[in-house]
Structure 1
Amino acid sequence: MALSKRKRTHEKDEDDAAFSLDDGVSESDSDVDISSALVGKKPRLQQSDHEEDDEELQEIIRQSISKRNKKGGTDMLKKTKGKTKITKGEVGGGSFQNMGLYPWLLRSLTLQGFRIPTPIQRLSIPALLTNPPRDLVGMARTGSGKSLAYLIPLVQRLGGRHSSTFGARALILLPTRELALQVLKVGKELARGWHAGDGDHAGDTKDAEDGKKGQSLRWGLVVGGEGLDEQFEMITSNPDVIIATPGRLLHLIVEMNLDLKSIQYVVFDEADRLFEMGFETALNEILHKLPASRQTLLFSATLPKSLVEFAKAGLQNPKLVRLDAESKISPDLKMGFFSVKPTEKDACLLLLLRDVIGVPLGSSKPEDEENSEDKGKGKAKLKYSEQVTAPHQTLVFAATKHHVEYLTNLITSAGYAVSHIYGSLDQTARSQQMEQFRRGHTSVLVVTDVAARGIDIPVLENVVNYDFPQGARVFVHRVGRTARAGRQGWAWSFVTNTELPYLLDLQLFLGRPIKSEVTHGGDRVYTESLVLGPFDRDRVDGEVEYIRRLDEENHNLPTLREVMRKGHGMYERSKGKASQASYKRTKEMIREGKWGIVGTASGVHPIFFRSKDASSAAKMLEEEERRKALLQAVNSFRPSETVLEIGARGNTETATLMKQRRKALGKAVERAAHASSSAKPIVEEVGEDEAQSEEGGKMEMADEETIAVFTS
């Protein structure tokens, strides 16, 4: 009897030991029967009439695992942080620890600096980890942490270990190569901590049981610009997660007759951008090849109507997590708008970099120096969370690749360290250029809209719109590269007179007033309104002369500038139109001449008085008032004689003719004034739907009734 009791006790201890998940193996992949550890005896064979009891038992198992993970997560946080105290929000409700994540996954998040979840992560992750799995539609502005919101449940569901069964288990579809590379990097960092806590020590011999533990997750990248042979080989190596752009993935599916029936977890990230780039047909083709039992996630910053129809067809009873209703842009984002002449934009850019942002001169580090840093003994490679850009580093958005090439040569000739990226650039070169900017080897990164979505450059504080975007949503995505995760940031935009209608559309979209003067100090006005003004005329003239000297030193600049102008003409013809009301209002603003538009009597942009002390600011304001008074006097001067009357003595023929003409024009002016005063003013009310035309009507946004299908 005693021997039997000891035997049962010994069996129970072994089961309890096997039940421990210190090695990070999920319960679905473990060879151990967990139910025996919970009830203290071997489970009986399931009978058909005991299905309800089996569901209750499974729920008990899930709750027990979740409680154990929460307790293990707390212990892991204490070990990871050491003597550092656990701050508020790292444990308890709404924290990563309270979501029941594996302790090793929580440790990986902590080491990378992800301590407190963002709102989209706090709402999405628990919903994605529920059983049975449920589809989800997530809407949040750029920079809110959507990528981590689906990567954490992905790693958790796959258990962090490689499956020997052939076929990928997760698929992530993204619009650009840079975003795919970034997601791949973050995903690998998350899954890298799977072996933490195994209990292995140096010198331990590896036996046959190590084969049961398996390997960590295998990741595969399928993007354009890479060789097909390497991607064929990658698919045959049986990756667990495939990160892809739709066009190249569909190409591989056709060429390899690739079967996607093993996919369990599908993510459409930046889905609105996928549709804008024309991937709708490819997405539908891929969707038909996926199994019906998959869990599907769709994350987007906006929700066009075409995307709603796609979500209806591809998702089953999805949960809607929406955080876009309160704020379209970050409340920490400060914006400045400069009215410029098209021929002086390059001079204004150099002036902005030097006098406003304060970018220091300097060239990038040579490649051999970079390699020597990476080869240092005992020095681990720079982790994703440790790549911190300097405060002066600036991201410049241009319209076309011809703009990027010209601006890169211009800014380099001016003595700055510059990187550049555009769509047709080789993938290896794009990765090198981005890495140089991330590591701080270059101060300026010139890009097209290929980097407007999803690229996370830590602590980036300055974004410049060299060419003003044609739609309000594109502007939101561009400036979303800064002021992320509670940090401050600046967005600087150049606006020509032909681009003023797009600025007025943006004003209606954001619901903020346009100002040309700032009456009080502080930066709060730059977050609450759109401050518009020109550069100082004297400084601009100096920079124009400096660029002429650069043209003499670098003979490529005039040629590249001419190519850029031709490319800009084609870009202007291809982009959409703003609303008719905005064009009408633009003419009125230029005629009024008091809205901070270049060429009018308005003063210099208030940002130039921001960094000055009280005495210097007062002196500059006084000089500005004298300049405005002088300009007003010059503009209001009307000579009493015409060129035909100057020097005419007596009653000459030309003088008599001009007097008669002046008398006739005076009567015409009086009649026009009388007619305008007697006519009733016509007031036109323009609704927001009529006045707001985003991207020329290419993408019609879904209204609240359309979005409500996800909440019904």
Structure 2
Amino acid sequence: MNVFKLLSRSSKAAQTTPAQKLPSSGAVANPQLFGHDEPTATSPETKKSNKRKRGKNIEDTSVPLPADLDFFGSSKKDDMEPTAQAAEKKRKRASQTQTDAEVTGAHEEQETEPYNADESKRILRLHKLKVTVLEDFAPQEDEAQSEKSKKKRKKEKKVVEKKKDSKKQLFPQPLTSFAQLRSRYGISRRLAENLNEQAYTLPTEVQLGALPLLLRSRKAGEDQQNGDSIASGAEYRGDIDLLSVAPTGSGKTIAFLIPIIDALLSEKAAEGEGEDGPRAIVIAPTRELASQIVNEARKLSKGTGLKATLMKKGMEVVERPEVEDVIDEVEVPDHSEQEEESASDSGDEGKAVQQKKRKRRRADKSKAAILVTTPAALLNALKQDDGAVAELPSVRHVVLDEADVLLDPLFREQTLSVWNACVNPLLRVGLWSATMGSNIEALAISTLNARWTTLSTSKTPLPSRRPLVRLVIGLKDTAIPNIAHQLTYAATEQGKLLGLRQLLHPTALPTNSSGPPLRPPFLVFTQTIPRAIALHSELLYDIPPEAGGSSRIAVLHADLSGTARESIMTKFRRGDIWVLITTDLLARGVDFRGLNGVVNYDVPNSAAAYVHRVGRTGRAGRAGGVAVTLYTQDDIPYVKLIANVIRAAEKLRGVPEEEQSVKQWLLDALPTPTKREKQELKKKGVEARRNVKTEDGKNTARISTKSGYERRVDNRKRGAVKGSKQRAGQEPRKVEDASESEFEGFE
């Protein structure tokens, strides 16, 4: 089936165009974003010594066959042994061979030549990785500072201002293959098998830099044996709080799940079952992203005995015996007043009601080791009747996925309440996102300091504080470099709708259009939920019936039920839906590997929102994605935010200046928004699209190709028809304009 012929209404034959590599064409051999042009240094696996190793060709050995099926075995009767004894010997040999293989695999890394400091620096810089220590929380010498004079303090302040950005930089040993996780860091064998089943072979940039920082070496002192010096950050390995800024679709979920699962397995082996309650919490801003993380955690923890679950309504995380007793004593709410009166009249019936009260119990406490949740769902489960938040002493790992939005004023209070409820002094924190402002870094440091101050008041001995390390891949707050950006001026709202219809029918595009064409499946982002619903109604019958008709387009927003949202997501991933209209609900973290493009029907509220929206395509190194942004006269004061991001992304990709989609003259002509305008845009969006009132006084967002003058003429006609019906004594009936209802959607 040719999708583009079906979508096109043109009777002309489609012109032959050069083959375009699309993200939906399949998996890529190299999921990395940088370092493709320049060859990397020889990996440690290829730099082995000539020393012979036991079990080197173990994979070539065949499985032993029973004696009656070994047709090519020795035919001499003297050499034959009883079948049972032969099978026992073969089993012993196989077990010994497997043991030798494990020993060889475990010690293979010691016999290889690791990267030296210069090679590590070169590889990290080639993949555009930068690892710095934000705060090492070293104890300050107050007495020495008090003895310094004011002049020396002024001099020191000047030196600090000059060297403010020159923080300690680390150069850890890069991870060049997932096979090194088993040999170098000694992760669980079952976890390594699960990674192999999921076809994880070559790590991405964030995995290349984060996993060596979060995983401990297999033996004490092995870092020095492998050539890691103090300057490369060996003293920070495996015992840090990490703040990671990596592009969208670069594998951040796998990067923080592997260390968590490995640590939980090692804790389970050392302490047995351990404490009762969740031991790791992953917080995500939306339910769709949380569901996606749970699926990945279940794949990696298969067969390990660890359970990963999604926080749902009614699920209990902490024990509440007092609350259960109160519930037993409180009257059960009745369905009608008659039942309440009849129960109060007779004592026997009152006893029956009391028995019903006692049978009512809270849900069982969740026994999952890894709990993935949204901040509001977990906070509701932790709140007591008196308003206090219950503590979670069993949690040792907390991950904030999309940390910048979780620590934004919208979610900040809920997220910090959950963070502070984790009172374990051994708590490890991870903050992950594609965009991270300096205010988020300062908030993270202040929260860590406040939490440590609270813990220090207790009488229990505290361990040494973990440093906060920052990992940055590429440029901060920049879109991924492997997609094409198009910034299109549509003048009016009607122009934007016409432009979107042209994208739905590629053969109708002019031949001189710049950039690759947009092909389904793709996402369409709007500013508000009413605008998403209105746009879906307008385009509902824009796809011809022979291509699937209205079933190929859908709308997804937060007002839908959880079941409806899951159904739409499943159909979109399966390919039944080609065009999905949504809000910023799907702008963060959700992985659509086969998504060919993104359309910003409404301008994003910030540069970070643009980075996350367009990051739904071109994931895991897939090239060919297209990001189209339509803007009108009302959007001009805010377009420069997006133009700067596009310019930086194309510069990072190495596009020549004459071929860039955003020219320098456009940047010079666009106005620079003020700080107040940025804040207003982030909170409320473009003012012209916030509230549009209809005739009934309802707030909606009108999307139509008709101008205001045409709407007024139609309204006058409707009023005249209603007036004539009333004068004739007939009941007024609703009259719909055929041209208006053609794209209005029909409730």
Alignment match, 1:405: 533
Aligned counterpart in structure 2 of residue 480 of structure 1, from 608, 615, 624: 615
Distance (whole Å) between structure 1 residues aligned to residue 475 and residue 696 of structure 2: 42
Distance (whole Å) between structure 2 residues aligned to residue 433 and residue 513 of structure 1: 32
Distance (whole Å) between structure 1 residues aligned to residue 429 and residue 640 of structure 2: 38
Query: Are residues 509 and 395 of structure 1, via their aligned partners in 2, closer, same or farther at CA, if it must alter by over 3 Å?
Result: closer
Alignment match, 1:623: none
Aligned counterpart in structure 2 of residue 218 of structure 1, from 307, 312, 325: 307
Distance (whole Å) between structure 2 residues aligned to residue 185 and residue 121 of structure 1: 19
Does 2:283 correspond to 1:177?
no
Q: List per-residue Cα deviations over 1:94-118 (Å, max 9, x = no partner).
A: 2111123333322222322322111
Pairing 1:45-64 to 2, within 5 Å after superposition: none
Pairing 1:448-487 to 2, within 5 Å after superposition: 448-487=583-622
- Name the amino acid aligned to 1:140: A
How far has the Cα of 1:275 moved from its partner? 2.5
Distance (whole Å) between structure 2 residues aligned to residue 298 and residue 245 of structure 1: 15
Alignment match, 2:246: 140
Alignment match, 2:379: 250
Pairing 1:291-370 to 2, within 5 Å after superposition: 291-315=424-448, 316-325=466-475, 328-340=478-490, 341-355=492-506
Aligned counterpart in structure 1 of residue 296 of structure 2, from 159, 171, 186: 186
Alignment match, 1:504: 640
- Name the amino acid aligned to 1:496: T
Pairing 1:157-172 to 2, within 5 Å after superposition: 157-159=263-265, 163=273, 165-172=275-282
Alignment match, 1:95: 177
Q: List per-residue Cα deviations over 1:406-427 (Å, max 9, x = no partner).
A: 2222332123402321122211
Aligned counterpart in structure 2 of residue 240 of structure 1, from 363, 366, 369: 369
Higher helix share: 1
Structure 1: gaps spanning 5 or more residues = 1-63, 73-88, 195-215, 359-389, 515-521, 534-558, 572-712
Distance (whole Å) between structure 2 residues aligned to residue 512 and residue 94 of structure 1: 28
- Name the amino acid aligned to 2:599: V
Pairing 1:417-456 to 2, within 5 Å after superposition: 417-456=552-591
Residues 336, 532 of structure 1: 8 Å contact kept: no
Residues 309, 368 of structure 2: 8 Å contact kept: yes
- Name the amino acid aligned to 1:477: H
- Name the amino acid aligned to 1:332: N
Residues 513, 529 of structure 1: 8 Å contact kept: no
Pairing 1:585-624 to 2, within 5 Å after superposition: none
Distance (whole Å) between structure 1 residues aligned to residue 658 and residue 314 of structure 2: 48
Query: Are residues 345 and 532 of structure 1, via their aligned partners in 2, closer, same or farther at CA, if it must alter by over 3 Å?
Result: farther
Does 2:630 correspond to 1:494?
yes
Query: Are residues 513 and 320 of structure 1, via their aligned partners in 2, closer, same or farther at CA, if it must alter by over 3 Å?
Result: closer
How far has the Cα of 1:525 moved from its partner? 7.8
Higher relative contact order (CA 8 A, sep 6+): 2
Aligned counterpart in structure 1 of residue 259 of structure 2, from 128, 153, 176: 153
Distance (whole Å) between structure 1 residues aligned to residue 294 and residue 193 of structure 2: 19
Distance (whole Å) between structure 2 residues aligned to residue 158 and residue 330 of structure 1: 33
Alignment match, 1:79: none
Distance (whole Å) between structure 1 residues aligned to residue 557 and residue 697 of structure 2: 14
Residues 336, 493 of structure 1: 8 Å contact kept: yes
Secondary structure, counterpart of 2:426 in structure 1: coil
Distance (whole Å) between structure 2 residues aligned to residue 349 and residue 297 of structure 1: 40
Q: CA RMSD in A?
A: 3.9
Query: Are residues 396 and 524 of structure 1, via their aligned partners in 2, closer, same or farther at CA, if it must alter by over 3 Å?
Result: farther
Residues 69, 103 of structure 1: 8 Å contact kept: no
Structure 2: gaps spanning 5 or more residues = 1-100, 110-126, 128-172, 217-236, 319-361, 449-465, 510-517, 544-548, 666-691, 704-747
Secondary structure, counterpart of 2:440 in structure 1: helix
Pairing 1:549-628 to 2, within 5 Å after superposition: 566-568=699-701
Residues 393, 443 of structure 1: 8 Å contact kept: yes
Distance (whole Å) between structure 2 residues aligned to residue 242 and residue 528 of structure 1: 44
Alignment match, 1:264: 396
- Name the amino acid aligned to 1:307: I
Distance (whole Å) between structure 2 residues aligned to residue 566 and residue 309 of structure 1: 39
Q: List per-residue Cα deviations over 1:560-580 (Å, max 9, x = no partner).
A: 9989995449x9xxxxxxxxx
- Name the amino acid aligned to 2:617: T
Aligned counterpart in structure 2 of residue 414 of structure 1, from 527, 542, 547: 542
Alignment match, 1:117: 203
Secondary structure, counterpart of 1:328 in structure 2: coil
How far has the Cα of 1:391 moved from its partner? 6.1
Alignment match, 1:274: 406
Query: Are residues 141 and 471 of structure 1, via their aligned partners in 2, closer, same or farther at CA, if it must alter by over 3 Å?
Result: same
- Matched pairs, number: 404
Distance (whole Å) between structure 2 residues aligned to residue 192 and residue 136 of structure 1: 26
Alignment match, 1:710: none
Identity of aligned residues (%): 28
- Name the amino acid aligned to 1:503: V
Q: List per-residue Cα deviations over 1:314-366 (Å, max 9, x = no partner).
A: 444112111142781222110112211212322321211112699xxxxxxxx
